[in-house]
Amino acid sequence: MNDIAQTPEPPYYAVIFTSVRTPGDHGYAATAQRMLMLAEQQPGFLGYEPARQESFGISVSYWSSLEAIKSWREHSEHRKIQSMADQWYSKSCIRICKVERSY
C-alpha cells in the first residue's frame, strides 16, 4: 500500500501531477513502475506519493531543488515517455511547488 513520503525539513520542492486517465492500460502500469524506478535513482529525489480514485489521480514527487526537477524532466527515457502521455491521460496538469512548511 502507498504511504506518506518521509521528507526532510522544508524547504524542498514538490511536483503535483493531477490527471484523468483514458480507459484501458495501454502499457501504463509497466511504464509507471519503470519511471518510478528511474526517478528514485535521480539525484535530489526525496519521495513519491500516488493515489488514484476511479480515473482521477494525484501523484506528488518530492525533490531537493528545481535543478533536480529539471534534470529529471530532461532525462532521455522520461522525455520519450512524456511524448507518449496522450494515450494514458485525457487531461493532466503539472504544478511545480516550493514546500515552505510541513507538520
Q: What is the contact surface with a second copy in residues (CB under 8 A)?
A: 1-5, 7, 10, 14, 16, 18-20, 49-60, 91-103
State the nearest-atom distance from the C-beta of 40 to a second copy, in Å. 18
Closer to a second copy by Cβ: residue 33 or 55: 55
Closer to a second copy by Cβ: residue 41 or 86: 86
State the nearest-atom distance from the C-beta of 65 to a second copy, in Å. 12
Burial 6-36 (b: 16+ CB within 10 A, else e): ebeeeebbbbebebebeeeeeeeeeeeeebe
State the nearest-atom distance from the C-beta of 92 to a second copy, in Å. 7
- Which of 99, 12, 3, 91 shows the shortest CA–CA distance to 49? 3
Helix (H) or strand (E) segment spanning residue 30: helix 28-40
